[in-house]
A = this chain, B = another copy of it.
Amino acid sequence: MNRRVVATSIVDAVAEDLRVRLYAAEFPGGTAFTEAEVASTYEVARPTAKAAIEKVVAEGLLVRGAHKTARVPELGPEDVRDIYLTRAYLETEVLRRLAENRAVPETAVQANREIAQAVNANDPMRIVEPDMRFHTSLIDALGSARTSRMYGSLVSEVRMCMAQVQGRGLLDPKLICDEHDEILRLIQQGEADSVAVLLDEHLARARERLVEAVGGTPGPEADTPPRVRAGG
């Protein structure tokens, strides 16, 4: 057997805890993170705190300008749109390729099973984590380290959005679950084009709901299919 151990440095540990707390919606958008504050909070030296902050900034979970204090980003409608559009660019193509191989990852099936359980239990907040896992496991099924890494950075931004809207902006869990099932079915049947269209709609709906939740006006693409197939 091949056990894996991680020896995390102090910088990494601080950065990781910052991530966790940011995901947990502990701080509203705009909250400042002074190097000195972080240093005293974790009882580390300021250079250590600085390094941790800069790591998190590099991931986009905090923002900072030169000589300015790092802050929790206030994600506006443009950010939400950009995040979800980028998700769509990456994810539709990945799903096409999965469909071409008719490769249905078991982890995705399992994740949607958990969503179904949350639906039955009528507990909408509990679908967030398995929903992320559903999409991530589809990406990971390709086996491309770089694709997975990129998608991971998007997922972390999505979590930041979720943290900021605090449960507002959630969609009908039943609908989500059913569409996931349909996505898996289309992959199984090799329907690349159909799965791309469906995912696009799936993400567009979530996107426009989130845009609304952060104070933007819903776009026109919420009900009309954004992808127009141009015939040859």
Interface residue ranges, A against B (CB under 8 Å)? 7, 9, 47, 51, 54-55, 58, 66, 82-83, 85-86, 89-90, 92-94, 97, 99-100, 142, 144-147, 150, 153-154, 157, 190-194, 227-230, 232
Which of B83, B90, B145, B232 lies in contact with A90, CB distance below 8 A? Answer: B90
A90 to B86, CA, bound (A): 9
Contact of A86 with B147 at beta-carbon distance under 8 Å, contacts A47-B47, A66-B7 already known = yes
Which B residues lie within 8 Å of A144 (CB)? 82, 85-86, 89
Which B residues lie within 8 Å of A230 (CB)? 99-100, 190-192
CB-nearest residue of chain B to A88: B93
Contact of A89 with B85 at beta-carbon distance under 8 Å, contacts A146-B154, A232-B191 already known = no
A112 to B214, CA, bound (A): 41
